[in-house]
Structure 1
Amino acid sequence: MSSAADTAAPVTAPPRAGTRPQTERPAPPHRRYLGWLFAVAIAAAAFNLRPVVTSLGPLLDQVRTDLGMSPTVAGLLTAVPSLCFALFGFAAPGLARRLGPVAVVTAGMGAITAGVLARSFAAGTAVFLLLTALALAGVAVSNVLIPVVIKRYFPDRVGPMIGLYSMALSAGTALAAAVTVPLTKALGGDWRLGLGVWAALGALALLLWLPVLLTRRRESGGPAGGTAAAVRLPITRSRTAWALAVFFGFQATGAYVVMGWLPTIFQDAGVSEGTSGVLLAVTMVIGVPVSFVLPNLAARRGDQRLFVVVLASFGIAGYSGLALASAAAPWLWAVLVGLSNCAFPLVLTMIGLRARTAGGVAQLSAFAQGVGYLISIPGPILIGRLYQATGEWYLPLGFLAVLLVPQMLFGLRAARARHIEDEALPAASGA
C-alpha cells in the first residue's frame, strides 16, 4: 500500500530475530512539513466541495429573476448536483489511473474555481448551467478521489484523515449556507458578487494542491500517485459494494431534502423566516464536530453497525418530531436531523475500510457515490410532489422516517468487516 512518496505514514521493518531493535529515525523535517501541507490541502479541498451548491440556494430567486430562468429550469438546477456527482464520479477512477488521483483532485480544484468565478459573469441561463456543471465536475471527481488519496498516503490514519475531510466539508457547507446572504448584502446586494466570491476559497485550495502535485510527481517520477497497475475489480459482484451504494443513496436523499426543504417546513409551522434559516444552519453545524469524531471512532471498530443504528434512530426521532410538532421543539428536531445526516462521514469511512488497496477504494468510491447519487435524484422531487398534493408535511416527513429503515438495513450489511476484493475476485475467478 505504501509508496516512495508516502509522507504521512512511514513504515519500518520489524527487527530480525536475535538482533537488537534499532531506534526509529524521525522523518526528515521537509518530509514532515510536506505531510502537514498535504493534510491542510485535503481540508481546503473538502471545504470547497459544497459551497458551489449551498451558496446558490439562498440566492436562487435573484438568479432566476435576473437570468429569466423558468421555474422548471430552476427546479432542474436543484437536481443537477446529484446528476453531475454521479456522471463525473464514475469517470474519476479512469482519470486517476491515467493521471494519478493527486493530479485529478488538483484539476478538480481548478474546475471549481473557474466554474464558480465564471458563472457569476453568465449572461444567460444556458451558460450559467454549463459553468455550474463545470464546477460540479470538479466537486464530483474530488468527492470520489480524496478518500483514495487518504487511503494511499495516510494508510494508518484513515479514520482521523476522513474525520478531518468530513469536518472541513461540513464546515464549508454550513458557512456557505449561513453567510452567503449577509455577505451578498455587504457587497452591495449583487448576486454575482455573492456567488463569485466563493471562487477565492477554491483558488486558495488550488494553490495548496499545486506544490503537493509537483512534489508527488518529482518523488514518484511519473503521474502523481498514479494507479495504473491497480487490478480492475468486477465490483458489481460485491454485495458489500451494492450495500454501500444504496446506503449512500438513501442518506444523500435525506441530506438533500433537508437542505432544500427544512426552512419551508419550519415556516409552515409558524417559525419565522430568519429563525428557520438559523435552524437549517444548526443541522449543518452539528455535523462539524461529529464529522471529525465519528470516523475516528468508526475506524477503530471491526464493524460499524452500532453507528448505523444510532444515526438512523436519531433521524426517525427527528422526522417524527417535525411531522407531529414542528414548532414545539424546533431546535431539538434540527439537532436530531443534523445528527442523522452524519451518516455521510460514516459511509465515507466505510468506503475507506471496505477495500484493501487505494485502487480498490477508487473503484468502490466511484461505484458507491455514482450509484448512490443516482438513487438520490428522485427524492427531493418526490417530497415536493407529496407536499404539493397534500398541502401538509405529515406524509413527506413520514416517508423520510420510513426511508431510514431500509437505509439502516443496507447500512448494517455494508458495515460488516468485509473487503470487496474478497467478494469480487473469487466470484470472477469462478465465472
Structure 2
Amino acid sequence: MENTSPRRSGQALLVFGILVVAANLRASLTGVGPLLDRVQADLGLAPAVAGLLNTLPLLAFVVLSPMVPRLAARWGAEQLLGYALVVLTLGIALRWVPATAGLFTGTVLIGAGIAVGNVLLPSLIKRDFPTKIGLLTSAYATVMGGVAAVASGVAVPISDIAPGGWYTALGCWVVFALVAVLLWLPQMRAPRRAAQGTRGQRLPWGSGLAWAVTAFMGLQSLGFYVVVTWFPQVFQDSGMSAAAAGWLLFLFQAVAVGTSLAVPGALRWARDQRALATICSAIMLAGYLGLVVMPGLALLWSIVLGLGGGACLVLALAFMSMRAQDATGAGALSAMAQSIGYLLAAVGPVVFGLLHTMSAGWRVPLMLMCVAAAGQMIVALVAGRGTVRAADDGVPDPVPSAGR
C-alpha cells in the first residue's frame, strides 16, 4: 500500500503531460490558414509557395512517421517525445523571426515535432493505460481539437492588435510549447522502460487489418483537411459572407470537440467498434450529400460534419492502440497509419481544388468527398475489431468474438 500513492501521482502527472502535449499538436497548424493572405502579401509569396505553409507539415508527417518506432526503441519513447517538443518549440520561435527563411524553416521543424507526438501518444496510452484507451484517446483528441479551434479563431484578432502582427500571432504559441517541455521533463528523468526488442518494430505492411486501420485514418484525415482548407470558400460561393463562413468553420471544429467527449461511453457500451465507426462515417456522408443537394443549409451540414468528424478522429486514434498487441505494436501501427493517412491528407485538398477548377463548381469535388466517406464506411467494418500481429511473426490477424 505504501507504493500506491506515488504510483498514482506518477500516472496523474503522465496523463497531465499527455494532455499538454496534445494541446500543441494542432494549434500551430490551424492558426496559419486565417493569416495566409496577410503572410502572402507581406512577403510577396506566390500562391503555390504560400500554400507550402499548410503542406510542409503534412509531408513531414509522411516522411518521419515510419521512423519514429525505431527512434523510440533506441532513445526511449519519453526521451524522444521530449526532444520532439524542443524541436517544436524552436520551430514556433523561428516563425516569430521577421524573415521568409525563418517562417519556412520553422514550419518544417514544427511538422517534425508534431509527427513524433502523433505517433507516440497512442503507444504511450496503450503501454501505461491499456484499460482506459477510449477515455484517454478522447481526452487528448478533445484537448487537441479544442485548442486548434481557438487558434484558428484568435489568429486574426491577435494579428490586428499585437506588436509584430501576424508574426506574433504565429509565434505566440511558443509559450504553450515551452510549458509542454517543462511538464514533460519529469517523464524524461524517470527510469527508462526496459526495451521490448526490435522484433516488433517493423511496420505491419502485410496485415490486412493494419491497412484497414490505415485507410480509416487516412480517409478521416482527408475529410478534415479538405473541410478546413476549402469549405469557407464553398460556403461563400453559396452566398455567405466571409465572416459567416469563418464562423461556420469554427462551429464545425467546436461540434467535433463536443462529439469526441461522447465517444468513450459508446466504446464501453459497444461489443466492438464496427457499428460505431460505420455510423459515424455515414454521418459524414450525410453532411457531404447535404451540401450537394441543399447547399443553402450550410449551418446544418457544418453541425452534421462536426458530429461525424469528431467521433471519427477519436476512433481513428483509438484503433491504433486497440488493434495492437502491445505498446510496441501500437507505435508501429500508428507510424504506418499516420504516414499513409497524412499523405492522403496532403493530397486531398489539392485534388479537391483541382476538381473545382476543372468542373467550374463545387458539385464534383463534393461528390468526391461522398465517395471517400462511403469508402470509410466500408473499411470501418474491418478496422473496428481484431488484433494486428507483429509484422514478422507470420500469424494471420485473428478476429476475436468480442471487442477490445
Is the structural similarity TM-score above 0.5? yes
Matches within 5 A, 1:18-417: 25=1, 27-124=3-100, 126-188=101-163, 190-214=165-189, 216-217=190-191, 223=192, 226-228=195-197, 231-233=200-202, 235-298=204-267, 301-327=270-296, 329-342=297-310, 343-416=312-385
Query: CA offset at residue 373 of structure 1?
Result: 1.4
Go from structure 1 to structure 2 and tell me whether the alpha carbon gap of 1:273 and 1:189 turns closer, same or farther (over 3 Å shift): farther
2:239 partner SS: coil
Q: What is the CA–CA distance in structure 1 between the aligned matches of 2:95 and 2:174, rounded to whole Å? A: 10
**Quick check: 2:260–2:314 contact (8 Å CA) kept in 1?**
yes
Q: What is the CA–CA distance in structure 2 between the aligned matches of 1:297 and 1:97, rounded to whole Å? A: 34
**Greater Rg over alpha carbons, structure:** 1
**Quick check: 1:250–1:404 contact (8 Å CA) kept in 2?**
yes
Query: CA offset at residue 281 of structure 1?
Result: 0.6
Go from structure 1 to structure 2 and tell me whether the alpha carbon gap of 1:233 and 1:114 turns closer, same or farther (over 3 Å shift): closer
**Quick check: 1:279–1:334 contact (8 Å CA) kept in 2?**
yes
Residue of structure 2 equivalent to 1:16? none
Query: CA offset at residue 258 of structure 1?
Result: 0.3
Residue of structure 1 equivalent to 2:401? none
**Where do 5+ consecutive residues of structure 1 fail to align?**
1-24, 218-222
Query: CA offset at residue 324 of structure 1?
Result: 2.5
What code does the residue aligned with 1:338 have? G
TM-score (norm 1): 0.87
Residue of structure 2 equivalent to 1:15? none
Q: What is the CA–CA distance in structure 1 between the aligned matches of 2:395 and 2:125, rounded to whole Å? A: 28
Query: CA offset at residue 189 of structure 1?
Result: 6.6
2:60 partner SS: helix
**Quick check: 2:87–2:110 contact (8 Å CA) kept in 1?**
yes
What RMSD, in angstroms, separates the aligned Cα atoms of the two structures? 2.0
What code does the residue aligned with 2:73 have? R
What code does the residue aligned with 2:228 have? M
**Quick check: 2:290–2:301 contact (8 Å CA) kept in 1?**
yes
**Number of aligned pairs?**
395
Q: What is the CA–CA distance in structure 2 between the aligned matches of 1:234 and 1:401, rounded to whole Å? A: 30
Deviates more, 1:306-315 or 1:48-57: 306-315
2:361 partner SS: coil
Residue 389 of structure 2: which of 421, 425, 430 is its match?
A: 421
The percentage of counterpart residues that share the same residue type is: 34
Deviates more, 1:382-391 or 1:196-205: 382-391
1:286 partner SS: helix
